[in-house]
Amino acid sequence: MANTILVGAQWGDEGKGKIIDFLTDHAQIVVRSQGGNNAGHTVIVGGTKYVLHLIPSGILRPGTLCVIGNGVVLDPVAVAGEIEGLRSKGIAVTPENLMISDAAHLVLPYHRQLDEARELAKGSGKIGTTKRGIGPAYGDKIARVGLRMADLMHPDVFAEKLAARVAENNAVLAGYGLPALDAAAMLKDLLAAAEALRPFVANTVVYLHKAVSEKKEILFEGAQGTFLDIDHGTYPYVTSSNTTAGGACTGSGVPPNRIDRVLGVIKAYTTRVGEGPFPTEDGPLSDMLHGMGREYGSTTGRARRCGWFDAVAVRYAGMINGIDDLAVTNLDGLDSLDSIKVCTHYRLNGALLETPPMDYTQLAACEPVYTELPGWKTPTETIRRWEELPANARDYLTKITEWSGAKLKIASVGPNREQTILL
């Protein structure tokens, strides 16, 4: 029985949803422990596409229990809507397969407004957030003025607490020239969502400890990616949670000595959505991938910036997360290329760097040092076995994972569950 933390080892959108869906063949419990509905995890099963934002990707496997842990920030109206959306597609969502932590913090309308207002005020220095209110909600959590699921479960007390928070935030919004929000109107929607969510709300820490002692297999579903981590990412161009492996423990209440392994998910190239430094960004590669209809954001629909595989970044992600194994997705995106670049080092002021600098202005000044590998010029989407992959594709996968310092475990050649090669 292995408890596994799955993390994105690049800038998000690595294909975590697809890999989680594949792994829930085994895992009995899937836990989200950070982030909010800034995440968009795409899973395609039986020809139907699902984009999950807050609900763990395990929900599509009957018999898998999904937990939204204490470290998540959740918009009650959005999560109630997501549950309804899944039900309308025939997916059962009941307290038997979904639990929500009573300690999870709420994302409220003033958080979304503030997120947008701060971005506008930053002008060209904006982060490019998803405008889902994530930063302001985590800000309130850390400032100890946040409201949690447990508060929402007590409507009378909640009304008072909300009114106080709205009053303070209205003063802040006024500073941005924005009109005041109406706490009473907000309350109506929130209380309706509260009743829809009430059956799912529980002390998930106690449940997870029992599951650990019963040796149930738990998969921790990372959201975002290593370089969007609030501590280890390209600050300030990051999200507001710990997207790296440690976040799975603090965000779920499962201690580190109950974790057996860490699986990193990477694309065979690199993408980033939003602003911030991206050393291997490449215009022609972006154009090619967008021309194939790929690399548009699952949450905001924005075109993702694309670039070559960056082994410097993934090596560093391996250090921070303790990555044992790697799953490489989107290999098929490179099928048509004659030759493929891989960044093995950065050059900064004449020096060769093995690891990325943490100062984003220095990272932006880094020049990637590339090695070129020959392409395979063969469609891979129908291949299901390692031995059947073209030799150059095997060589590419072997080299990028070796240079990243971890073992290749899974290769993915398409968005569907069965387009997966297990080594």
Shortest distance, position 295 Cβ to ligand GDP, whole Å: 8
Shortest distance, position 55 Cβ to ligand GDP, whole Å: 13
x/- map, 36-75, Mg ion, by CB under 5 A = ----x-----------------------------------
Binding partner of 18, given Mg ion, ligand IMO, ligand GDP, none, CB within 5-8 angstroms per partner class: ligand GDP
Among residues 354, 357, 391, 361, the alpha carbon closest in space to that of 376 is found at 391
**Closest to ligand IMO by CB, 8 or 414:** 8
Question: Which residue among 41, 53, 105, 111 is the active-site one?
Answer: 41
Q: Which of 135, 136, 368, 414 binds ligand IMO (CB under 6 A)?
A: 135
Secondary structure string (H, E, C) spanning the chain: CCCEEEEECCCCCCCHHHHHHHHCCCCCEEEECCCCCCCCEEEEECCEEEEECCCCHHHHCCCCEEEECCCCEECHHHHHHHHHHHHHCCCCCCCCCEEEECCCEECCHHHHHHHHHHHHHHHHHCCCCCCCCHHHHHHHHHCCCCCEHHHHCCHHHHHHHHHHHHHHHHHHHHHCCCCCCCHHHHHHHHHHHHHHHHHHEECHHHHHHHHHHCCCCEEEECCCCHHHCCCCCCCCCCCCCCCCHHHHHHCCCCCHHHCCEEEEEEECCEEECCCCCCCCECHHHHHHHHHCCCCECCCCCCECEEECEEHHHHHHHHHHHCCCEEEEECHHHHCCCCEEEEEEEEEECCEEECCCCCCHHHHHHCEEEEEEEECCCCCCCCCCCHHHCCHHHHHHHHHHHHHHCCEEEEEECCCECCCEEEC
**Closest to Mg ion by CB, 259 or 328:** 328
Q: Which of residues 382-411 bind ligand IMO (CB under 6 A)?
A: none
41 is catalytic: yes
332 near ligand GDP, rule: CB under 6 A: yes
**Closest to Mg ion by CB, 297 or 390:** 297
136 near ligand IMO, rule: CB under 6 A: no
3 near ligand IMO, rule: CB under 6 A: no
Shortest distance, position 313 Cβ to ligand IMO, whole Å: 14
53 near ligand GDP, rule: CB under 6 A: no
Q: Which of 86, 136, 414, 421 binds ligand GDP (CB under 6 A)?
A: 414
CB-hemisphere CA count at 13 Å for 17? 25
Binding partner of 383, given Mg ion, ligand GDP, ligand IMO, none, CB within 5-8 angstroms per partner class: none
127 near ligand IMO, rule: CB under 6 A: yes
Structure tokens at 349: 């002021």
**Closest to ligand IMO by CB, 4 or 129:** 129
**Closest to ligand IMO by CB, 13 or 201:** 13
Q: Which of 41, 105, 111, 417 binds ligand GDP (CB under 6 A)?
A: 41
Torsion of CA 380, 382, 386, 391, to 10 degrees: -30
**Closest to ligand GDP by CB, 151 or 310:** 310
x/- map, 44-73, ligand IMO, by CB under 6 A = ------------------------------
234 near ligand IMO, rule: CB under 6 A: no
244 near ligand IMO, rule: CB under 6 A: no
Shortest distance, position 39 Cβ to Mg ion, whole Å: 6
Residues identified as active-site? 13, 41
Residues forming contacts to Mg ion in the complex (CB under 5 A) are 13, 40, 298
